[in-house]
Structure 1
Amino acid sequence: MDKILREIQREDKKNPYTDQELAEMLNVARSEVISVRKKNNILDSRERRKKILIKDISKIVSENPQMSERKITEILIENGYNISRSAVSKLLKEENLNQSKIGIKDKEPASSGKYVKVSKVVEEDGFEELIGIKGSLKEKVNLAKSAIMYPPNGLHTIIYGETGVGKSELATCMYKYAIKNNIKEENSPFIVFNCADYAENPNLLIAQLFGVVKGAYTGADANREGLVEQANNGILFLDEIHRLPAAGQEILFSLIDRGEFRRLGESSSNRKANVLIISATTENPDSNLLQTFRRRIPMVINLPNMSERPKSERYEIIIKFFEREAKRVNKNFIITKEVMCALMNYKCTGNIGQLKSDIQVTCARAFSKSIFSSDKVIIDLDSLRDYIKSGYYDCNCKNEKYSEFSVEDIYIDISELVSGKNRILSDNEISEIYNYAEKELKVLESKCFSEEELKNAFIEKLDKKFNAIKNNKNLSDRRSRIDWGGQLKESTLEIMDKVIVFIKEQFKHVNQGLYLALAIHIEHAIGRIKDGKTIINPSLDKIKASMPMEYELSRYIMGIVEDLTQVTFPEDELGYLAYYINKFCYNEESIKDKVKVVIVTHGKVGIEMSKVVNHILGIECTLGIEIALTDSPSEGIEHVLEELQKIEARKGILVLIDMGSLVILGDEVEKRLGIRCKTVNRVDTLLAMEAGKLATIEGKSLDGIIADLKKNKNYAMINTNKFSYRKNEYGKKNVIITLCLSGVGTALNLKEHIEKQIKEYDTLIEVKPVAFLNNNLEEELNDIEAEYNIIAICGTIDIDYKNVPFISYNEVLGKNGINKVLEHLNSKQPALNIENQLNNLIHEDLILYNFEGISKEYIIDTLVSKLEEGGYVDSKYILSVYKREAMGSVVMASKVAVPHGLPENVIKPAIAIARLNKPIVWDNKFMVDLVVLLALKENNKKEIRSLFSKINDQHTLEVLLNTEDKNEIKELLS
């Protein structure tokens, strides 16, 4: 209790801790925090800061009554508040500071005051501490947010993944998101229940979930509310949902469907509860939960395991756990690079959960050795368990797989572990250099280096840091002041305007990222000196010797800054300024010694694209070459070769092309000019910019550029393949067609699956999704065939196209699915030709007319039930229908819905039809009068085409929608 009160006492009054944050920080239950707070008459976090917040808002509004909510929010953030615009808006309304009273306008120009507005207000999120939200978890987080925001009370959700992947953490983040964005009140409950605890006792399960009435069983001597009542207007998190027996799942039906339940022992009346259910499981929900239960949980979020996530995210997770432990023991940490390598590389089968536990034990072992040390804990190999150490011995820290981040000694300073501080960019990218330098010096000093060794080691660290700053993607992406993720003083921008003019007079090529990077640095430097802090650079003499020109130019830059600020800088600062010049400014000779990026297009597009890229990056990093539209492929290649002979390309050439006819260009350059050359197809401005940046700014090799571009699935690599199946004399690229009715459901899923599989083979294969319902399907396929070699067609419908092999959806997803695809690269398989008549697929007992369809789900359930009863489909078919519908519905003529499931769940082909007595809304887009549910095999393509042509006929459709006779419906469609 004391520690909770102590943390509340010393919290930042502008950003008080929420109950959840206190619980996580102190490793106690949230309910305990709430209990202590209420017992001591302490308000919740919103109320605790309300008084000071109202005071500050009132002051801002009184000084400028016309100020918008957005601007008020920006000033509050500038003054140290961590607050969203929605929270400010809500408070203004609650306190009756409405627009009519203070004249607030939502639109206003940027002010000309002390600060220039350069940032957008970031809404409080709740997911900010979840690592990977912009990487491997981006799509998962978006799904989680959608589930929370969906009106009126969110979507019930299943989180699926291996043990330790972070299912509970994601559920907690969803709760925080709901609270921080005012979707739920701050005091809304978050109740956790582990289904495994009561898996074998349904009665106890009912009692725990729904409560008990007095006398319900022996010993029930009082009424007791259950977890559902406790979770009212909040979230109920059901962990290990797969351990819930069938009876337990069925118990929840009425709660999910109608928000009603009864306590154990109640028989007469129903109780109401507004509860959002989030559940977690390590087992496949489709095979381990009742289908009737699974259908009631519309949102499924599948979390990746540790091995499926990028190494960079594992690195961030490790640092995050070490920071938590440093804060817990209140000591600075030094973690050796050997420990980092071991933790990055050992087999962590328990995923994040095991990693967290292993780091806690490691810190405990290290802490016990340094318990009498005054300020720091050194974590070295001796602190690790043996099975973790094995990761170090198997690891090469200089290996390419670690190139995305730095595996080196880490210094964690607890004084900097303060939440709520917004930086322009993250600490391992472009945060001010002084903190980095101080941290590295502390680490180096702990190693007992000689003075010379320390200087050499420090300059090596400094060089890595400035390379990271130079290569930071945020610098090239944030080219205007509006795009910058923070705020810079007007005086800083005035200084930079003069500095950049001077620098451009000295260098022809200046990386445009220099403006923002140096502006941040100068602002930090001025603030540091004004605060009386020192600037130290122990390697100053070495920088001066290795960069004499940059060092002298730095003197002039320092003079500009000193004249405009009246602040005197120490000489050590010259070393840092010299590094910025060295890394961001280029002369002609340094540009020559880079890979040449050449953009070749038919017409002037390539030349103009090159100009745009060079202007944006501030460097002549690309060359554009035009091929006349009247030139043949061979003439075009000859012209390009003539132009390439004029340039100096010591490190090779990367050619970006616009058409497949130029794919052999790379081979021709290597054969006739003797220069290494790679070719990339389908050039656009973003691709050209990325290639130019990698080549000229980052100075990567030709192979390094190709490797980086291949990480982006949008860029199709040419001449980097290990396979060249069915490649003809024109250099056509191989393609696999994925096919489904709409082209956006199963076809896209198959595309992603195949691309993921063939990535391992590094093949020259593209995958294209195509819609069967496209009236010009054959024409589209002919166009594709003109440019590509079609290897195979994969999907749910065999269209028998020119003897191109067909591979069914089920085969592709099978264990050896990719091998079946690759087997067809040089072979032709006869397509199936099983022609069933529509008359044999449509049966009177499968036709419902004047049917009262109260909802989409009710109609689908009814039609599938008829198919199941007739032995046409198996029990899994209904789930495949809902999965398809979740990918996107097929609706024809805006009136006819065509739901369908997987062919593998069809026992014998059939079509079920419902002619509705009144139209219903289908997916919030269409008013549907007719539902035609297809249960067909891959070889029913002719029947599908015939059926769709009849539905698309306006006269036939009108008769269908007005007939009262089942036989007529069958005749019209047969």
Structure 2
Amino acid sequence: MKSTDNIYNFLIKEHPDDKLTTQQIASSVGLSRGVVSSYLSQLYRENRLVKSGTRPVYWMVRREVTEFSKVIGYNGSLAKIIKQCTEAIIYPPKGFPLIITGPSGIGKSYLAKIIFEEAKRRTIINKDANFVVLNTADYANNPELLSSILFGFKKGAFTGADKDTPGLVDQANNGYLFLDEIHRLPTESQEKLFSLLDSGKFYPLGENKEAHKVNVRFIFATTEKLDNFMLKTFMRRVPMHIDLPAFRRRPFIERFELVFHAFRNEAKRTGRSIEVSLDQLNRLVRTDKPGNIGAMENDVQLICASGFENVDENECIFVGKPGEPTIFINANSSFEKTSYYSDLIKDQVIKLQKKTSNLLNRESSLDDLSLAVDQMLKATKLMVDEVLIKDLKIKVYKNLKEFLGERYGVDLNLDEEKVQQIASAFSLGELFNEDTVQLSKNELQKSFKKRYPRCFYLFRQFILHTFKRSIREMDLFCFPLMFQNKCVELESIHFTGILLAHGRNTATSIQSVVNNLCGNYIFEAFDMPIDVSIHDINEKVQHYLNQKGQSKDGIFVLFDMGSLNQMFKEIKHSSDDELLVINNLTTAMALDIGIRIQRGDSFKQITKAAQKFGDATGVQYYEGLSDRDNIIVSCMSGVGISEEIKKMMAESLSGKEQIITMDYKDLQHTLDTHEQDFFHKTNLVITTTNIETNLDISIINIYDIMEKPGYQELKRLLIEAGETPGNVDHLMESLLKFFSLEGIKDRLQFLNPDVVINEAQQITAKYQDYYQAEFEGKVRLNLYMHLSLMIERMLIRSHKDNEYTEIPLNNEQEKEFFSVSHAIFKGIEIKYNFKVDDYEISLMYQLLKSYI
């Protein structure tokens, strides 16, 4: 589906009869104004939209002009009825009969004629088809005469029947028969009619052999309750029941248009323009007489007749009292949906707008703003649409409770009078035409959002949920009425909390529980499809942050599954606020965070608490691998070796660097899937194997440090990171001891590796001291292992017959080495009661001769 079609379908579904600005549409669909503007222009060129206004431009779905377009309220309160009428016309093969009910004077006959005209327009019936009308009340006292008129009669059927005469049913063949006041139809005629509805055949009066076959579409009308007068067998054959509302039950704007239409008809009748006061229009709009629209039209005619008597020829007819605001209506006047009504309240709206802006600039309270709105509502009280208000009051109350209450945990503490005021303000907004006056809606929105960001976000969500549209100018005046009792508490939360979870209601269910238990709007929640991407999630989060505004103290994002680091990175790159991201979302976790936010804990306190949620939960509040300078340790042989090395580094080094252990596979994956910035705090990676990477990271194989170049590189990197040479040497000794232990523990038969390795270290240190040499790590490692195993060999040999092999000494250097060695080994010989023979010393010489 093309993007233009998506926009068009959105308008058809959500705003079929509304005028919307480009920005309103863009906000609703979540696209930029520029992109939406190009789509709307394309739809306009395709003749699918109507464009009006200049600054701003308004867009509206282009509707097909039908006969029903003549009906006032066809796209308003009567929209459902018009849809039913259309269905009755087009349903194959011949439509179906319908009955129109409602009080006298509401336009039942007019609607029946419109249905007939629409059927002709659609070529469902021929253009020369008949529309036959019968008011059955005219023959209520003469059933036989009614039957003969309706069904016709044969010659001789009764006295005076001197020829075959067709009835109205025959005349309506291939057209429509409209039977008004159907409740006056006798039982016999009802029985004959339902037989006709079933078979399309009937017998005229006096005929009992040959039935007449016709194709007639029926419309019935009555002012009475159907069950009291109509046979059930008859009503079962009339599937469509349409109930027209009384004039007083119609929306204010439709009543206003009906009154306007009545004055225009009188202007046509008299050939004069009519100047009518707005007060007179309001009184007529509030007509509540049994005759409904008919009674109102009679009143208009009498009023115009009274005015006509008092003017000269060709003068304008004046209706009302001098000095009152008026409008002019002539035979060619057209009624714009809200233009006249807007004129009634335009001055009040402008005054309130200016006053609201001034109060916001002076940082007045919402109580002062509410008082200003209340004054406007009193000034426009005569223009209130009670029918619309009644419906709006139910809708507002329902969504305050079910939406703001259940989802966001917000009870606005509004009594019935306040809800009535809110409904009244919304009713004015439903009818006010913003094209008639230059308004600074965006400025007011910005002011409210800046001063009350959390309240305004909830208000925006309430409008969207309740009315399926974006905020209008008049809506803004409902804001102080709604939030004056709750704004301080709502704005006391300085964090932004977001819940993200896959599934239809997972996140919003947790949100509802937590917000209600906390008694405040703590979290917003987004339910996501299973296949959603991190990028899509971030777009949703960013849209929320833009709507709500930046938080003062930080953002908490709790989500159910996915990459912790990716989520953090996506969101952090779009926000400068402090950010904590936690995965494996649970209700208990969200509640714990929510309670801490509610009671005013700091970001640092909440972050610290979050790190104790358990091993299954990941927490990130910094960008990259860590927020501290760090060294990564990863051994292919397993995390156990890595943890031992971490322990040695912690004991030997200063603690300035964080030591992070990682599984080898995880390290390789992390290096492959992240960019350089992720490791900006990583000083060094220590592994037990060589790793290939394109990143500029220092990686040292731990076995390389056993040789001089490797050790010097390690020493350089650690000193650059702030370590002292002594700390690095101590680390090296610990590493050598550890790897020596690893090498000998399975080869020693009875000696304790930890004890014997210390002996080996001491002996090695004496050789270094005597020869003033620093052995390479690899040499020391070999010495530690050799000496440890040698000590056990000597112990075993001391309990057997000793056979010493003399080793020839070829030069002074060798003689000196043997002499020194005997002195160095003297201590352990006494301690363990054995003698180190020349052969063992000769092996030591081979290991160390390069240093002698």
Q: TM-score, normalising length from structure 2?
A: 0.38
Please say which structure displays the higher CA radius of gyration: 2
